């Protein structure tokens, strides 16, 4: 299983996934810990009224800690000859016909808004809707955990306090900005709404696109679509470039010498499966043929997720943008291919 999406936090998770020690865990009672967070929040301008409204009566949730630990130990699926779990298997489970149909229906329903947002942000509507589909089945499954309680529990527990304490303070700032306390419901790991943003991402990138004065990622189609599109634009989406194209890779293709020579500073285990960057023109010269339109000068990496006998892809910079949303090749491939299906 791939770990649950955690937005920008994926970077921090990748760095600490190997059973980090609980160095600073639970050296204080939960209430004493909340007092230290409250002091920090006050220093960052959060009102006492908000702190009282959110923290009074808050208790840790053991279920959240259990789920967080389960993520670490979940054993992988069967491996292919690549040494990695099968991409085909993952896609079969995640890009189901029901999910594809849901995406087509969603796009039809929101098309006027989606077109306007596509114009404004330069991110294809089908990519945004594919994210929505993978995160919450187009809003059907947004999580039922109380966000302040989950975030306070995870921050106090301490394994990833560096990640969760700022998110706990960010959720207080959301309340200060007028988000109703009752709306703060989401995943056990603190992600919420249609696109499963973390609070810090909400503060930075959520958009009020329907003009009602609220950035409502739970109920508003326009706010949801614009906020995800804004995330993608902020992460460097290149308008008019595909996320990837399927590529024909002949048996005779020489795969030696195309390994990446750099180690990615972020989630290196994801990036090390991609080749080095070459232009499409250079790939063609090596006998590797794109199966869909893509400019000759576009830079791409070759990725053969299930090995040489299975489909290969030329990934562009836009694939990296999907990885910024959730740094997993399985996630990014399933989002890109779902978007392709929706736009077909
Ligand atoms: Ca709104």
Residue 18 pLDDT greater than 90, yes or no: no
Q: What is the CA(297)–ligand 1 centre distance, in A?
A: 40
Q: What is the CA(187)–ligand 1 centre distance, in A?
A: 22
Looking at residue 253, what is its pLDDT? 86
Q: What is the CA(174)–ligand 1 centre distance, in A?
A: 14
Q: What is the CA(38)–ligand 1 centre distance, in A?
A: 29
Looking at residue 337, what is its pLDDT? 98
Report residue 221's pLDDT band, with 50, 70 and 90 as the boundaries. very high
Residue 289 pLDDT greater than 80, yes or no: yes
Report whether 232 contacts 127 (CB < 8 A). yes
HSE, side-chain direction, 13 A CA sphere, residue 11: 9
What DSSP string runs through 233-294?
Answer: HHTT--TT--SEEEEE--TT---TT-B--S--SSSHHHHTTSB--EEHHHHHHTT-EESS--
Looking at residue 170, what is its pLDDT? 98
Report residue 250's pLDDT band, with 50, 70 and 90 as the boundaries. very high
Q: What is the CA(153)–ligand 1 centre distance, in A?
A: 30
Q: What is the CA(78)–ligand 1 centre distance, in A?
A: 44
Average pLDDT rounded to a whole number, residues 174-202? 97
Sign of CA dihedral 330, 230, 128, 240: negative
Q: What is the CA(316)–ligand 1 centre distance, in A?
A: 33
Residue 75 pLDDT greater than 90, yes or no: no
Q: What is the CA(144)–ligand 1 centre distance, in A?
A: 22
Report residue 1's pLDDT band, with 50, 70 and 90 as the boundaries. very low
The pLDDT tens digits for 36-57 are 999 999 999 999 999 999 999 9
Looking at residue 81, what is its pLDDT? 83
What's the mean per-residue pLDDT of the chain? 91
Residue 4 pLDDT greater than 80, yes or no: no
Q: What is the CA(322)–ligand 1 centre distance, in A?
A: 24
Residue 6 pLDDT greater than 80, yes or no: no
Report residue 16's pLDDT band, with 50, 70 and 90 as the boundaries. very low
Q: What is the CA(218)–ligand 1 centre distance, in A?
A: 10
Q: What is the CA(140)–ligand 1 centre distance, in A?
A: 19
Q: What is the CA(126)–ligand 1 centre distance, in A?
A: 21
Q: How many CB atoms lie within 10 A of CB 78?
A: 7
Nearest to 228 by CA among 321, 103, 328: 321
Average pLDDT rounded to a whole number, residues 88-110? 97
Residue 143 pLDDT greater than 90, yes or no: yes
Q: What is the CA(228)–ligand 1 centre distance, in A?
A: 14
Q: What is the CA(117)–ligand 1 centre distance, in A?
A: 14
Judged by average pLDDT, the poorest of 13-22, 39-48, 68-77, 257-266 is: 13-22
Q: Cα separation of 315 and 303, whole Å?
A: 7
Residue 213 pLDDT greater than 70, yes or no: yes
Residue 20 pLDDT greater than 70, yes or no: no
Looking at residue 244, what is its pLDDT? 98
Residue 132 pLDDT greater than 70, yes or no: yes
Sign of CA dihedral 294, 297, 298, 299: positive
Rounded to 5 degrees, φ, ψ at 52 are -65, -45
Q: What is the CA(127)–ligand 1 centre distance, in A?
A: 21
Looking at residue 25, what is its pLDDT? 57
Looking at residue 257, what is its pLDDT? 84
The pLDDT tens digits for 322-333 are 999 999 999 999
The pLDDT tens digits for 304-318 are 999 998 999 999 999
Judged by average pLDDT, the poorest of 59-73, 184-198, 264-278 is: 59-73
Prediction pTM value: 0.91
> Cα-Cα-Cα-Cα dihedral of 5, 190, 184, 218, to 10°?
0
Residue 76 pLDDT greater than 90, yes or no: no
Report whether 232 contacts 122 (CB < 8 A). no
């Amino acid at each position: 299983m791939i770990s649950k999406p955690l937005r920008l936090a994926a970077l921090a998770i990748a760095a600490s996934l190997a059973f980090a020690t609980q160095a600073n865990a639970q050296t204080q009672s939960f209430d004493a810990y909340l007092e230290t967070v409250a002091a920090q929040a006050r220093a960052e301008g959060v009102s006492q009224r908000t702190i009282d409204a959110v923290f009074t009566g808050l208790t840790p949730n053991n279920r959240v800690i259990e789920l967080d630990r389960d993520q670490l130990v979940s054993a992988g699926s069967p491996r292919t000859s690549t040494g990695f779990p099968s991409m085909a298997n993952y896609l079969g489970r995640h890009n189901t016909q029901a999910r594809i149909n849901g995406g087509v229906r969603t796009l039809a329903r929101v098309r006027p808004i989606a077109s306007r947002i596509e114009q404004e942000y330069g991110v294809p509507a089908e990519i945004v809707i594919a994210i929505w589909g993978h995160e919450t089945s187009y809003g059907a499954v947004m999580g039922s955990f109380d966000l302040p309680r989950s975030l306070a529990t995870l921050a106090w527990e301490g394994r990833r306090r560096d990640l969760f304490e700022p998110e706990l303070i960010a959720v207080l700032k959301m309340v200060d900005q007028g988000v109703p306390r009752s709306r703060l419901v989401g995943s056990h790991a603190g992600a919420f709404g249609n696109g499963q943003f973390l609070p810090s991402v909400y503060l930075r990138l959520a958009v009020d696109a329907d003009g009602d004065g609220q950035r409502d990622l739970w109920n508003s189609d326009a706010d949801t679509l614009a906020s995800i599109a804004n995330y993608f634009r902020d992460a460097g989406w290149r308008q008019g470039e595909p996320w990837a194209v399927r590529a024909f890779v002949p048996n005779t293709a020489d795969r030696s010498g195309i390994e990446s020579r750099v180690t990615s500073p972020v989630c290196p285990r994801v990036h090390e499966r991609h080749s080095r960057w070459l232009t499409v023109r250079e790939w063609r010269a090596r006998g590797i043929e794109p199966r869909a339109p893509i400019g000759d000068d576009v830079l791409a990496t070759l990725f053969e997720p299930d090995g040489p006998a299975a489909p290969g892809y030329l990934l562009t910079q836009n694939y990296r943008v999907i990885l910024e949303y959730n740094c997993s090749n399985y996630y990014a491939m399933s989002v890109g291919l779902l978007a392709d299906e929706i736009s077909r």
